[in-house]
Amino acid sequence: MTLLRHHLQAPAALRNLPSQVAAIRDAQRAIRGCDPQTLRAHTSQLRTFVQQGATVASPKVLALGGAIVCEAVDQVLGKSLYDVQLIAGIILAHGAVAEMQTGEGKTLSGVMPAVLHALPGRGVHVATPNSYLAQRDFETLQPVIEHLGLTAGCLGDDAEHGERADAYQCDITYAPGYAFGFDYLRDQLALRSAAGSRLGDQLRQRLRGAAGETRLLQRERRCAILDEIDHVLIDDAISPLILSAAGDREAPDAAIHRAAKQIAATLVPATHFTIPEDRGGLELRPAGIDAIYRESTLANDPRLRRAWHEYVHLAIRATHQFQRDVHYIVSAGKIRIIDTSTGRIFDDRTWNDGQHQAIEAKEGLRITSEQTALARITRQRFFGMYEVLCGMTGTATGCADELQEFYRLSVVPVPLRVPSRRQTLPTIRCRTAEEKRQRIADEARQCQQRLQPVLIGTHSIADSQQLAERFEQQGLRFALLNGKQDADEAELIAAAGRAGAITIATNLAGRGTDIHLDPEAAAAGGLHVIVSQHHAIDRVDRQLVGRAARQGDPGSVRFYCAPDDPIFRQAPWIARWLERRLAPPRDDTPRSDSRLAQMIAKQQSINQRKQACQRRELFQRDLATQKLIVTPRTRNAQGIEK
C-alpha cells in the first residue's frame, strides 16, 4: 500500500504539550494589542521562514504562529483560546488527530493549525462532515484568517466551476469532505480529456494554469484538516466517491422495471428469496428464478440492460431493504437518499446499477435513466494522497486502530477544560415502540413543565414523524428537525436551548450542533437529551449525547430501549433477554444498566468491525486497480453515485 503522505507526527514532540502552550502564551504577551498591520507583518515573516525550510511545527513557528492566531481570535471574535484548544491545535500542527470531547470548542481549535499549515502557500483544505458545518465554520473563521493577511474560501454545494476554482486559490478552503474528492475526480477527467485531444500538452498546460475558464479546480493536495475526522474517514468511507454523468431522461428500460415490480409483488420471502437482516446479500432461490421466468415474456426483450431476473432482484430489494423515510424520501417526484448516519439528505446522488430505478418504480415515479459512472475513488485513497493529514473528533475511541491502519494517523487525547456535569439517568426499557413513544412524551412533558429544554434523537425520519404525531395528539409544543421541514436548520437549533423547548430530531442534530442555553434553561438543569434508540454504531450515540452539558454547562441524558429496536434485529438474543425482563409481573424500579449496556456495546463493536472489514475490502480493491477513470462502466457493491 503506497501512501504519499509524510508523517509529521513525532511522539516526542507531542509529549511536552504544556510547554508548547506556555511558549505560545509568552509570544502572545509580547504582541498583545498590536495593530492588524503588525499581525500581518508577523504572518509574512513566518511565511518567509517556512518557505525557506522551517517546518510548520518547529518550536519557533509554532510559538509565534500560535500567538498571532490567539491575538487575531481575541481581536476579531473577542474570545481567548483556551489551553485545551491550543493543545488540540498543536496536535494538528504535528499532523496527528486530537480527540477532544464534544462541545470543547473544536471549531476554534482548528484555526491555528489551518493558519500554520497555510504558511507554505500551497493551500489547506478544511473538510467538515456536511455543507452546513463548512459554511458555518467558514463564516466564523474567515474574518480571523483575513485579519492575519491570509485568504479563506468555501465551496458551496451549488458553486459553479469558476467560484470553486477561486475558492481553491485561497490559503484555506472550507468544504464538506466529499466535495474535495469529487473536485479531484473532475480535474482528473478534465486532464484525461485534454490528454486525448489534439491540443494535448498545450491544453493540459492551460488547465494547470491560473487563468482561463477551463483551468483545473484544485492546486495540489498539500494539507487536509478534517473536522469530525471519524465521520469523514470512517463513516463516510463505506462507499466510494463516484462521479457520474447526469441522466435525467426517462429510462429506456422503464417498462421492464415496472413489470419487475409486479412480478416481485407475487414472490414469497423464504420460498422464492432469502432476506438477511442487514442490507445486501438478498438472494433468489431456485423456486424464485423458476417463477420469474415462468410468469414473463421479457427474458429476451431488447431493452434489457441486465438479465431479466436481476430486474426482479432489484425490485425485491427495493421493497424489502429500502424503506421510505428511513433510507430515502420522496420529494418533488424524486427519490432523495438519506445519509443514515447523519440524517441528512444527499442531493444529486443516486444508487447505482439500477437500484435507484427499481425504487422509482416502487414509488410509482418517473423512471430516470441510469447514470453513467465517469470516475471513482475511495475516500481512503483520496485522503491518503495528502502530504499532511490531521483532524479532530470527540469520538476517536473505537476507530483509532482503523485511523492508524489506513491513514497512519495517531490519536492524541486532549483533557477536558472543565469537568463534565452531564448526568446519565437510568435507561428506560419498554415493551414496544408504541409504549416507548408514550413514555418519551410523558418525560418531555415533565421537562417542559419545569422549563428544561429537551432534545429527542430518533433513528429515522419515519421515527421522528411518528413521535411528532404522538406529541401533537397530546398537545405538546415542539419543533421537528429531520431534513424534511421547511424551517431553517440554524433557526431550529438556535431555539432548541430555550427554556421549555422540545425538539425532535434525527441524527441531523448530532455532530457539530451547538445548542446554546438561555439562563432560564440552564437554571432548569440544562439540555436533557433523550436517545430514543441505540444506533448501530456507538459513536453516533455519543455524538448525540454530546449535545448536552457542553463547556461545563449542566445537562442530562437518558436512553430508551425496546425489544423491537432496529439494533436488536442483528442481535435477537438481546431482544429476548430484554423481553424476559419486561414480562409480567413487571418491575419498573430503575436499576443498574450495566448488563444491558455491556450487551449493546458488544453488538455495536461487532457492527463497527463488520463495517471496518467492508471498508478494508473496498480500499484494497481500489488500490489493486489504481483506476480513477471508469471506461466502460464498472459496478460496485453499494456505491452511491453523484
Q: At a CB cut-off of 8 Å and minimum separation 6, what does 183 contact?
A: 155, 164, 168, 217, 218
Residue 527 CB, shortest distance to ligand ATP, in Å, is 12
Backbone torsion region of residue 141, taken as left when φ is above 0, otherwise alpha when ψ lies between -120 and 50, otherwise beta:
alpha
Residue 551 CB, shortest distance to ligand ATP, in Å, is 5
Q: How many angstroms separate the CA atoms of 368 and 349, rounded?
A: 13
Residue 418 CB, shortest distance to ligand ATP, in Å, is 12
Helix (H, G, I), strand (E, B) or coil at 384: helix
Residue 218 touching ligand ATP (CB under 6 A): no
Residue 397 touching ligand ATP (CB under 6 A): no
Find the length of the chain: 642
Report whether the peptide linkage leading into residue 585 is cis, meaning its omega lies within 30 degrees of zero. Answer: yes
Nearer to ligand ATP, 485 or 551 (CB): 551
Nearer to ligand ATP, 133 or 375 (CB): 133
Nearer to ligand ATP, 83 or 166 (CB): 83
CA angle (465 as vertex; 459, 468 as ends), nearest 5: 110
Distances (CA, A) of 288 to 284, 368, 568, 608, 623: 6, 27, 29, 33, 37
Residue 510 CB, shortest distance to ligand ATP, in Å, is 8
Nearer to ligand ATP, 375 or 414 (CB): 414
Complete DSSP assignment for 19-79: HHHHHHHHHHHHHTT--HHHHHHHHHHHHHHHHTT--TTSHHHHHHHHHHHHHHHHHHH--
Nearer to ligand ATP, 85 or 607 (CB): 85
Residue 77 CB, shortest distance to ligand ATP, in Å, is 8
Q: Strand 273-274 to strand 283-284: parallel, antiparallel, or no bridges (unpaired)?
A: antiparallel
For residues 539 and 607, is the Cβ–Cβ distance under 8 A?
A: no
Among 457, 546, 563, 639, binds ligand ATP (CB under 6 A): 546
Residue 104 touching ligand ATP (CB under 6 A): yes
Among 22, 41, 58, 82, binds ligand ATP (CB under 6 A): 82
Each residue 471-510 as x (binds ligand ATP by CB under 6 A) or -, in order, gives: ----------------------------------------
Nearer to ligand ATP, 20 or 355 (CB): 20
Among 177, 394, 497, 525, binds ligand ATP (CB under 6 A): 394
**Which of these segments, 11-19, 78-86, 229-237, 333-341, binds ligand ATP (CB under 6 A)?**
78-86
The kind and range of the H/E element at 429 are: strand 428-429
Listed in order, strand segments (DSSP E) in 295-403 are 328-331, 334-338, 345-346, 350-351, 372-377, 388-393
Residue 551 touching ligand ATP (CB under 6 A): yes
* Residue 389 identity: L
Residue 173 touching ligand ATP (CB under 6 A): no
Residue 481 CB, shortest distance to ligand ATP, in Å, is 15
Helix (H, G, I), strand (E, B) or coil at 412: strand
Radius of gyration of the chain (CA): 26
Residue 550 touching ligand ATP (CB under 6 A): yes
Q: How many angstroms separate the CA atoms of 330 and 277, rounded?
A: 24
Residue 459 touching ligand ATP (CB under 6 A): no
Check whether 103 is labelled as a binding-site residue: yes
Task: Give the end-to-end CA distance of the chain in Å, rounded to a whole number.
Answer: 27
Residue 543 CB, shortest distance to ligand ATP, in Å, is 7
**Which of these segments, 98-106, 440-448, 492-500, 590-598, binds ligand ATP (CB under 6 A)?**
98-106
DSSP letter for 508, please: G
Nearer to ligand ATP, 81 or 461 (CB): 81
Residues of this chain that interact with ligand ATP (CB under 6 A) are 79-82, 85, 100, 102-108, 394, 511-512, 514, 546, 550-551
Provide the annotated binding site for ATP.
Answer: 85, 103-107, 514
Provide the annotated binding site.
Answer: 85, 103-107, 514
